[in-house]
């Protein structure tokens, strides 16, 4: 199948690589061209605009940084909607706003195309190992059409409802992670201040009601002073900002998520924008 892939950062490159390895023709575009080199050397075909990628492809994936960039890639000059999209399927895997996902879906329908919002969780390791979780929003038809491709890149891909629903599930996921990151940081700060053996505390707590993925996975990294990004602070701040904006639109208050966002904002101001989210503990530890 002829597949387009726009946005070949760490995540996008790994995902596009799996599609290519499965024998598909993959047409690629990235703002920084050099980031497509590995894929092109493996057989992907460079196109110099999102519009041209779309012209060549039946199903077009996007995996970009921020909602404003997603907006430009779909609606801007030389963007996806400048191409003839009738009969095509547009899949945005960026973690972006439910509102933008709905706007893309409306435009797609207007031009007789289909759209899915399909953000993922599982990070760079999940992308490399094809063990991502895909959270999709859109029609069942569109989802069923995409499913064989999702199966090449994920261990779990589910349709959660109409356009925007995939983004909403991802927001719920980020709200959940926000709480586990503050919890992990504060319990470790407390345990260290109380002169406890942190390795043993992590093991003990991970066997009971305080158990979280974050504590089991990030706790040991923190003990090795490993603050390298599995997931960037700056991207988590973006996601929590979207979650809180959406919450406000729905007239719900999420005080713990607000607090987590404020703490991560402080962390970014301290210069940790490009560190991993586990660096939150640096607000307490030098």
Q: Is 191 in the site for a second copy (CB under 8 A)?
A: yes
Q: CA 97, CA 103: separation in Å to the nearest integer? A: 10
275 binds a second copy (CB under 8 A): no
d(CA 135, CA 175): 15
Q: Give SS3 for 159.
A: strand
Nearest residue to 63 via CA among 30, 38, 24, 85: 30
25, 3 in Cβ contact below 8 A? yes
286 touching a second copy, by CB under 8 A: no
Give, in order, the Cα–Cα distances in Å from 179 to each of 119, 165, 168, 219, 269: 20, 22, 17, 15, 20
Is residue 177 involved in binding a second copy (CB under 8 A)?
A: yes
Residue identified by tokens 């499913």 is 147
Please, what is the minimum distance in Å from the beta carbon of residue 99 to a second copy?
A: 12
Q: Judge contact between 146 and 160, C-beta under 8 A.
A: no
Site for a second copy contains 93 (CB under 8 A)? no
Residue selected from 25, 58, 151, 158 as contacting a second copy according to rule CB under 8 A: 158
Q: Which stretch binds a second copy (CB under 8 A): 11-19, 105-113, 249-257, 268-276?
A: 249-257
Which of 53, 70, 146, 178 binds a second copy (CB under 8 A)? It is: 178
Of residues 74, 91, 64, the one with CA closest to residue 1? 91
Residue (28 or 215) nearer to a second copy, CB: 215
DSSP state letter for 23:
T
Selected binder of a second copy within 77, 140, 194, 225 (CB under 8 A) = 194
Q: Which residues are catalytic?
A: 170
- Which of positions 120-149 make contact with a second copy (CB under 8 A)? 121-123, 133, 135
Task: Report the run of H or E that residue 52 belongs to, with start and end.
Answer: helix 50-56
Among 196, 199, 223, 271, binds a second copy (CB under 8 A): 196
In the complex, the residues that contact a second copy under the rule CB under 8 A are 98, 121-123, 133, 135, 155-156, 158, 160-161, 165, 168-169, 171-180, 182-191, 193-197, 200-201, 204-205, 207-215, 217, 243, 246-247, 250-252, 254-257, 259-260, 263, 284
């Amino acid at each position: 199948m002829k597949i387009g892939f726009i946005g070949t950062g760490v995540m996008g490159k790994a995902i596009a690589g799996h599609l290519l390895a499965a024998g598909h023709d993959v047409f690629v575009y990235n703002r920084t061209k050099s980031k497509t080199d590995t894929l092109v050397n493996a057989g992907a075909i460079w196109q110099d605009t999102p519009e041209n990628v779309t012209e060549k492809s039946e199903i077009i994936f996007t995996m970009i940084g921020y909602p404003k960039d997603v907006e430009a890639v779909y609606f801007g000059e030389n963007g996806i909607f400048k191409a003839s999209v009738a009969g095509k399927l547009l899949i945005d895997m960026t973690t972006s706003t439910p509102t933008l996902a709905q706007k893309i879906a409306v435009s797609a329908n207007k031009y007789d195309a289909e759209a899915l919002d399909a953000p993922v969780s599982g990070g760079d390791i999940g992308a490399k190992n094809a063990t991502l979780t895909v959270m999709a929003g859109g029609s069942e038809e569109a989802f069923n059409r995409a499913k064989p491709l999702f199966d090449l890149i994920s261990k779990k891909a589910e349709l959660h409802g109409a356009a925007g629903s995939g983004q909403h599930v991802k927001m719920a996921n980020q709200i959940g992670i926000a709480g586990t990151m503050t919890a992990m940081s504060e319990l470790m700060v407390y345990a260290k201040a109380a002169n406890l053996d942190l390795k043993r505390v992590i093991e003990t707590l991970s066997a009971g009601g305080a158990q979280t993925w974050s504590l089991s996975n990030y706790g040991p990294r923190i003990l090795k002073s490993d603050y390298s990004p599995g997931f960037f602070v700056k991207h988590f701040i973006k996601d929590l900002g979207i979650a809180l904006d959406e919450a406000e639109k729905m007239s719900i208050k999420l005080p713990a998520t607000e607090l987590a966002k404020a703490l991560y904002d402080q962390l970014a101001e301290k210069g940790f924008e490009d560190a991993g989210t586990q660096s939150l503990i640096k607000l307490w530890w030098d």
